[in-house]
Structure 1
């Protein structure tokens, strides 16, 4: 999933929550509309948020879209849980970090450059203050790959 799709889904879930609150307000104003408004809308909201939290738990258990920081290097998995790319600290020539900050989402795009002619390893770490980014830079300095 790209950051743009993730952000769009987060915004849509927010609008869904606002629509649910509006339905509950209209139900309070007109109590006879409980069966028409509140019950189906509540079921949809519960289903969407249950899918979201269920997907998070499943992907965490399967190791999907993860970055593994090892003493020998870095490995990144794909959406099927298999290693997409990896790089050893001995091959690293530099790291470029781009911070993405918006009103709804924040993250870090990390590119790890290699001494060989291979394309750089890249991944996105969510959050404005990602612990993964700090740990990656500390491990890179400790191994001598970064200054």
Structure 2
């Protein structure tokens, strides 16, 4: 599996100094984010109803719901740490370009800044979906590279904007 040091050693001479390594997601990641938020909202609503209505066996039902909520968050944290450790779905940002790894940790795209002609960025911030979509258009030479950074204000979006604009 490629590590950050491996990426820096392999692409550093051509892409310059490494700025950072950031998580990116695919469409499945955005859908899973929405499903996780819907599940947490539903289970939270059920917990509140259990507290106010107090049916028979409310304590047992509440304990089961709380356990499921903790398992959902635990799985999310575990997947995030495992993906970071194995280099799965990462964007390695350099001063001269970026390297994107795929689901198995291998290099999916390498983009040098001179190739990029247009950078399109859009954001969706709602209760169920929160992400930034960044598209790097490379003119006529290759298809565009699309990055999906989950979260309200991901560091990738601000650092990429700073590198591309030269701030």
Query: How far did 1:88 drift?
Result: 0.7
Counterpart Cα distance in 2 of 1:80 and 1:23:
42
Change beyond 3 A, Cα 1:72–1:16: same
Q: Does 1:40 align with 2:67?
A: no
1:5 aligns with 2:25: no
Q: Which runs of 5+ in 2 are unaligned?
A: 1-27
Gap change, CA 1:23 and 1:56, over 3 Å in 2: farther
Determine the C-alpha separation between the residues in 1 that align with 2:108 and 2:44: 35
Deviations 1:107-143 (A, max 9, x none): 2211111144310111112233333222112212339
Correspondences of 1:81-92 after superposition (within 5 Å)? 81-92=105-116
The higher relative CO (CA closer than 8 Å, separation ≥ 6) is in: 2
Structure 1 residue runs of 5 or longer lacking an equivalent are none
* 98 and 91 in structure 1: CA distance in 2 versus 1, 3 angstrom threshold: same
Closer, same or farther in 2 for the Cα pair 1:11/1:79, shift >3 Å?
same
Q: Does 1:17 align with 2:44?
A: yes
> For 1:128 and 1:52, how far apart are their aligned partners in 2?
17
Cα–Cα, structure 1 residues 36 and 106, in superposed 2: closer, same or farther, change >3 Å?
A: closer
SS in 2 for 1:124: strand
- CA distance in structure 1 between the aligned counterparts of 2:39 and 2:154, rounded to whole angstroms: 24
Q: What count of residue pairs does the alignment treat as equivalent?
A: 140
Residue by residue over 1:71-119, the C-alpha shift from the partner in whole angstroms, topping out at 9 and shown as x without a partner, is 2211112222222212111211111112223233322211111144310
**Distance change in 2, residues 1:22/1:56 (3 Å):** farther
Equivalent of 1:64 in 84, 88, 98: 88
1:91 and 1:116 in contact (8 A); partners too: no
Using structure 1 for the length normalisation, give the TM-score: 0.77
